[in-house]
Amino acid sequence: MKRLINNFKKYRFLLVELVKKDIKLKYRRSYMGYIWTLLEPLLTMIVLALVFSGLYGRSDKLFPVYILTGRLLYTFFSNGTKAAMKSIRSNGAMIKKVYVPKYIYPLSAILSNYIIFLLSLVVLVAVGAVLGLRPNLYMLQAIVPLTLILVMSFGVGMILSTMAVFFRDLEYLWGVALMIIMYASAIFYQVESVAKPSNIWIFRLNPLYALIRNFRSAILYQEWMHIPSLIYAVVFSFGTVIIGTIMFYKQQDKFILNI
């Protein structure tokens, strides 16, 4: 463990530079640049709120906040895991030339997307303030799901980045899986309104929904988090990190032969 920590300290400056590079590349040649970090979730929220408030006949003025709390977490998980999955292959030239701990690449992909995600939370704060949400102690709980979504994304990203080196079609399969995860995360509808009691287990099986549920408890419903779903999210998040790290270290010496 001490060796791993010392190794991380040695290359932490490279990690910072890779994160900066990923963020700059995301908005390169974009006239509005970083403004899209705020504008994209806001526009998406407006469209979804208009469509689904009319579709379900919702009159809840906080429905836009309901959408944002789900959409922001899902977008980070989706973008982060996809970037991590491609990170080894996209940095293949550097891997072949110089030695760098290979986990730096999926980690930098996750962190760069996480920074963008944190910046986009400004939209949630602004919309909540406009719609009448007031700060309270329950909101401090949001730190827990916001931390767990980072851990979960890194763990899943490590698994995907390992598998994608040997199985290129995973990129397309993961896109389909993300679509299923999105619909099982109740981003723009309430579970009780679309699912029969006998089918709610489908949502409870989704660890991302567990995080979104608890994030909404803290921000929107202003109540204590749901402990069973929180425990499930914790176990899944750290479990994927352990599994992903073991997989990555067992296969990393073979990466250079397949990129």
Kindly state the average pLDDT of the residues 105-110. Answer: 95
Per-residue model confidence (pLDDT) at position 94: 83
Per-residue model confidence (pLDDT) at position 49: 84
- Cβ neighbours around 160 below 10 Å, total: 25
Q: What does the pLDDT look like over 7-55, one tens digit per residue?
A: 777 878 888 889 988 888 877 766 666 787 788 888 888 888 887 776 5
Q: What does the pLDDT look like over 46-95, one tens digit per residue?
A: 888 887 776 554 567 888 999 999 999 999 999 999 999 999 988 888 88
Q: Give the start-to-end residue ranges of the domains of the chain.
A: 16-257
State the Cα–Cα distance between residues 87 and 1, nearest whole angstrom. 24
In this model, does residue 109 exceed pLDDT 80?
yes
State the Cα–Cα distance between residues 218 and 36, nearest whole angstrom. 26
Given a contact cutoff of 8 angstroms between Cβ atoms, the answer to whether 84 and 154 are in contact is yes
